[in-house]
Copies of this chain bind each other. A is one copy, B any other.
Amino acid sequence: MQKKALLRRHLRTLRVDGILITDLTNLRYLTGFTGSSGFAVITTRHALFVTDFRYQEQSGQEVRGFTIKIEHTERSREISAICRAFGIRRLGVEGHNITVEFYGRLGKQGIRIKPLPNIVQSLRIIKTPAELASIATSVRRAETAFRKLIPAIRRGTTEQKLALKFEELLKHCGCKKLPFEVIVASGPTAALPHARPTGRKLREGDLVIFDWGGECDGYFSDMTRTVLLRGKDIARQREIYDHVLEAQGRAIEKVRAGAKASDVDGAARKYIRDAGYDEYFGHGTGHGVGLAVHEKPVVSWRSREVIRENMVFTVEPGIYIPGFGGVRIEDMVVARKNGARLLTSLSRKLKIIEV
């Protein structure tokens, strides 16, 4: 198995005899297990997956390439016994996932432990053709649901009603779970970039942000569209929208294997700054999407990452004006040698809902 082989390469360079995988997303990536409790230990000779009684049958159906064991005692003791059985003198653990408390418990078992960087995430960051296919389906399901939602977007309906209907449509389109609760934010509440839907009714002249994601085989998608309800004076709304759209286009243009992630962010940010809205764009331009809806790479001014081929991430600048409203446009791209390939296909032209 390719993933296991890639991980094993790290054993020597990291100077550990085994790696303990506890991050459930990394665990799923490596073993196929989709449950909520388990871990794996990988050495040059062994690949062991451990879960509890509840997942005995499920792990038998899902886990490939690992020996399966059911844990019967407290986890740190279980791990200690495995270290003895496998001759592990020094065990690498996932520093981003192991808590200080659990680390202490492992230490009490007499295990020599070394915190490691998130090496499985560094494998996950480059998507395989099979993963790209799952993500593409995840995008398609999310887009189909949005198209079906559009007729329900009208004056007088509430954010909550739209969000509920949207989530139902996403499930009916085949998403087994949703990466996050759908965001529907209208008028002034659209100035909250991560607003939760409220009972506010949609009014004329409202900008309405929809931020949602789909799922396929555990792979997520993530996108945002902002629509406008026709009103008497919508010049400012249109102006903000045009700025965000232009900023997004400039960021997407920067995407290609070899580009700096901070330059992708910088292209959007510079445009918005030059347009005079600098203080109203506080978040990063994008993030990776895969088995987690927020993963590497980080696309922001702080990022030191270089874009590589087959990385998948969002490009989502926004402008949020407290008391007035907000616009965000979010698409997903896969980085290629010569540029970005868009995974999302929904029109980015401002959609004006007649009232």
Q: A: which residues have CB within 8 A of B?
A: 34-36, 52-58, 74, 93, 95-101, 103-104, 115, 164, 167-168, 171-172, 176-177, 181, 191-196, 282-283, 302, 322
Contact = CB atoms under 8 A, between A and B. Distances in A.
A171 B98 CA distance: 34
A341 B93 CA distance: 44
A95 B282 CA distance: 31
A114 to B, nearest CB: 10
A178 to B, nearest CB: 10
B57 A322 contact: yes
Contacts of A95: 99-101, 104
A208 to B, nearest CB: 17
A192 B58 CA distance: 7
A115 B98 contact: no
Contacts of A172: 164
A282 B96 contact: no
Contact of A57 (B98, B100, B192): B192
A194 B100 contact: no
Contacts of A53: 193, 282-283
A176 B115 CA distance: 38
B54 A191 contact: no
Contacts of A104: 95, 115
Contact of A55 (B55, B103, B181, B194): B194
Given A58-B192, A168-B168, 17 more contacts: A34-B196, A35-B194, A53-B193, A54-B193, A54-B282, A54-B283, A57-B191, A58-B196, A93-B100, A95-B100, A96-B101, A97-B99, A98-B100, A101-B115, A164-B172, A176-B181, A176-B196
A190 to B, nearest CB: 11
A195 B57 CA distance: 9
Contacts of A195: 57-58
A167 B177 CA distance: 11
A295 B15 CA distance: 37
Nearest to A55: B194
A217 to B, nearest CB: 13
Contacts of A176: 181, 196
